[in-house]
Amino acid sequence: MDTADLGLPVDVPSTALFTDRYELTMLQAALRSGTADRRVVFEVFTRRLPEGRRYGVVGGTGRVLDAVENFRFDTGMLDFLAHHRIVDAPTLAWLADYRFSGDIWGYPEGEVYFPGSPVMRVEGSFAEAVLLETVILSILNHDSAVAAAASRMSVAAGDRPLIEMGARRTHELAAVAASRAAYVGGFASTSDLAAGFRYNIPTVGTSAHAFTLLHDTERDAFTAQVDSLGSATTLLVDTFDVAEAVRSAVEVAGTELGAVRIDSGDLLLLAHRVRQQLDDLGAKRTKIVVTSDLDEYAIASLAAAPVDAYGVGTQLVTGSGHPTCSMVYKLVARANSDAPGAPLLPVAKKSMGAKSSVGGRKWAARRLDADGVAEAEVIGGGEVPAELAGRELLVELVRGGEIVGREPLDAARDRHRVARAGLPLSATQLSRGEPVIPTEYPRN
């Protein structure tokens, strides 16, 4: 069963106050000046990838759609705004009826992106669109950071499965979002039951060191676990002496023991020793799972080790050193008048520093070389060149305020696998480097 769109009660009932105060004060001023209904285009993009990263991964699109749908001001929220005099009475009356009625296009979830990529485009009245800035950015920045870290770890792990285990290292709701983003990026399962419940991600887990320490002996703990969960369970073997624990584990569970987990020490050395010991004891099909503050580099260092699966926590949910993608939400076009159907004028901030942007409503397409490998991210306005037809990246997500772009989470996961495979091979190198393909802005 796919539960991704059932609205199960892990999320907050409304996202309307997941915003910054100045969104509402801008709304008030625009309503007073008569510009609130002017048609505009906002775009989400990042000016650069995190240092050393070769590509980004779009994560959180499905959650953005939920957030837009749930962006409603209830009586308690309006009373709060009134009590603290954040906005005036006419603005409160406008907010009471707020429903986004515009259009949203974006890169589909799981797709890769590069500097300047218009990851999401929001079109509608200024009043409707400006209010969504903070909640859209908070979701995309967090989920895309986790998805990118997960993707790099997935590359390092190769065919070996990855388990997301970071719930205790972040905010309880962020943990659910992180599990979802990790699944998009290539993780196979999660320890977090809320993520399993909300998004139907496979869940795993057996026991911690506390369970071993609860018992008089390690053998007693193993016996209790096997009696309860069966011999296919995973036994944690590094509470005391690893070699002795492996021996006891096989004696208790038999040679059909499912797996052993190592959570500390020199994982490379221990994995080799444990594999040899398991084989000598006849448990040749017993798998080895390693945990203990892994990141993509540690996983890569274990590529030659006899490891069958990795459990990753802290480094995953914090984006492996880059907890945000620095995405921004910028006004790039506005109607030249308040008249319906008025032409859009490109607008952009001018800056002496690194905060300049490119104005105008944009399309994006990925140009391929003769072998079908990506060679450039092409971003422009106006008509899409004939040679790029069919390579456009943005898809329709919201039409006239109605969600049209929902999809199962597995679709985003599969898309990412295909998108990453379509990049040059150097994209999968863990060494620092520039974006694996350039961003180009053709002249119209």
Domain boundary among 321, 350, 380: 321
One domain, residues 77 and 113: yes
One domain, residues 166 and 265: yes
One domain, residues 335 and 358: yes
One domain, residues 193 and 282: yes
- Whole-prediction pTM value? 0.94
**Pairing mode, if any, of strands 103-106 and 395-399?**
antiparallel
Q: What is the pLDDT of residue 353?
A: 64
Q: What is the CATH number of the domain that holds 241?
A: 3.20.20.70
Q: What is the pLDDT of residue 338?
A: 81
For residues 344 and 334, what is the distance between their CA atoms, to the nearest angstrom?
Answer: 5
One domain, residues 168 and 300: yes
In a domain, 144, yes or no: no
Q: What is the pLDDT of residue 356?
A: 72
Q: What is the pLDDT of residue 340?
A: 81
Structural domain total, the chain? 2
For residues 164 and 311, what is the distance between their CA atoms, to the nearest angstrom?
Answer: 6
Range of the domain at 355: 21-131+327-440
One domain, residues 295 and 422: no
Q: What is the pLDDT of residue 31?
A: 97
One domain, residues 306 and 347: no
Q: What is the pLDDT of residue 12?
A: 64
Which residues, including other chains, have CB under 8 Å from residue 57's CB and lie 6 or more apart? 110, 111, 112, 113, 144, 147, 148, 150, 151, 184, 185, 416
Q: What is the pLDDT of residue 13?
A: 74
One domain, residues 240 and 334: no
pLDDT-flagged residues of the chain (< 50): 1-10
